[in-house]
Structure 1
């Protein structure tokens, strides 16, 4: 089955539109290097003053950590869901040997920036990299078109994990693999969403959704994916992120509550991996 792009009709959540529209977050000191993730800080000395190089290295390391779970990747076709400015897609293409990488994002301004930031790579390797507008819940691609799908720190913005899981199973070929990295509520505590909204304004205003990791795991399994596994990597994310924030934000200010939420057990960072079975998935061609 061929899917026609309906991204223009798929609504962008208001806070997502506002946060990723007027401002290029990837150019801000909080992030930097064209990446927009909290970073994977393993191997970086947090007892020493952190540099911009350390911050960018942590974000590159997040992509390497995520893409490493898909190895071997040489010669494969990959889809990144929520590609942002395309810095991670460039890492995937240049360091992991993919034959082709498609970066998909729901926000047109992000895609415009991704095209500008990667103009040289697009000119040199137009057959290996493209950027496409689309929603995680309604991907504008043919069935079975990708060997791998990955998503880095975007799932907290998805409004429907079940639809995302169904689309993931559909666009992967039989045997294809997926990895999702983001921050989730570790268990099924019904009070966690309210507690997070009281600590972190991104949850209060609707930018981030308090998805639970069991909800994502269950959605992938119900979509027919196999070998679903969730691994916590929070110990390599939250202390480094907070240490970086310490140079810009005072203790007790809202962004530093990410570490507090982790220490309180109501938020963690996970990689969630799965595979589409080689046999046909019921209801998926």
Structure 2
């Protein structure tokens, strides 16, 4: 099927609609640089006052960490699921040598911003960068259209991990690779799910969903993906994220509870890789 014939009709969850609509998270100092992720802070001195440059570097580093797990990447076609402003896709093109990157997002306003934010790249390299409207659970692409698929801090918004996994497996070619990075409950203890709603407003409002790592890995495996590997990167995420938040939020306020949730074992940040087996 063509992209237009598979155009998604998937509804946008109301909390997601609000967070990425007119308010535009990417315009907030919290997410300086427009990448909209918590950051990979390895190598950044957290004992010194953090600058906006440090914050942007942490978010770029998250993309570099994720994209490096997909090697080799030179000359391949990649899909970013939940691309936001699309600035991570430009990192993929410039630093990892992809022949083509498609950024997909469910939110039309985000896609408009992505077009604007990357207008120079789109003008210079129209055959290498593309943005598409679609849901993670219903992707508007042909079977086996991509060599690599990556998803940076978006899976916590997905309502159906099983549907996402099936779509990821479908659009990947045989021998294709996928990487998902985000924050998840580390085990199957359902008490942790309720605990997150107590600690963090984003889970209480439904913006974030308390998916567990066992739910994600089993979804990927049921979809036919193999070599599923899970790596905790929380030590490179949570202390730096909390240090950045400290400049905006006082101790005891709910955003500071991300570090608390990590320390008590309720939540962690993971990189999860998988492959579509060869025919």
Aligning the two structures, in what range does the TM-score lie when normalised by the shorter sequence? over 0.9
How far, CA to CA, are the matches of 1:267 and 1:13 in structure 2?
A: 22
More displaced stretch, 15-24 vs 100-109: 15-24
How far, CA to CA, are the matches of 1:13 and 1:101 in structure 2?
A: 26
Q: What does 1:132-281 align with in structure 2 at a 5 Å threshold?
A: 132-279=132-279
1:5 match: 6
1:264 CA drift (Å): 0.5
Question: What's the CA shift string for 1:1-24, capped at 9, x where partnerless?
Answer: 5562332x2100000000000122
Q: What does 1:92-171 align with in structure 2 at a 5 Å threshold?
A: 92-171=92-171
Q: Give the number of aligned pairs.
A: 278
2:43 match: 43
1:68 CA drift (Å): 0.4
How far, CA to CA, are the matches of 1:276 and 1:244 in structure 2?
A: 37
4+ residue stretches of structure 1 with deviation over 3 A? Answer: none
SS in 2 for 1:194: helix
1:34 CA drift (Å): 1.4
SS in 2 for 1:30: helix
1:193 CA drift (Å): 1.1
How far, CA to CA, are the matches of 2:109 and 2:124 in structure 1?
A: 23
How far, CA to CA, are the matches of 1:161 and 1:52 in structure 2?
A: 34
1:282 match: none
TM-score by length of 1: 0.96
How far, CA to CA, are the matches of 2:132 and 2:264 in structure 1?
A: 39
How far, CA to CA, are the matches of 2:26 and 2:75 in structure 1?
A: 29
How far, CA to CA, are the matches of 2:223 and 2:234 in structure 1?
A: 26
CA RMSD of aligned residues (A): 0.8
How far, CA to CA, are the matches of 2:164 and 2:247 in structure 1?
A: 37
How far, CA to CA, are the matches of 2:22 and 2:213 in structure 1?
A: 31
TM-score by length of 2: 0.98
Gaps of 5+ in 1: 280-285
Question: What's the CA shift string for 1:192-214, capped at 9, x where partnerless?
Answer: 11100000010001000000011
How far, CA to CA, are the matches of 1:264 and 1:167 in structure 2?
A: 34
Question: Does the 8 A contact of 1:2 with 1:143 survive in 2?
Answer: no
How far, CA to CA, are the matches of 2:128 and 2:152 in structure 1?
A: 20
Question: What's the CA shift string for 1:154-189, capped at 9, x where partnerless?
Answer: 000000000000000000000000000000000001
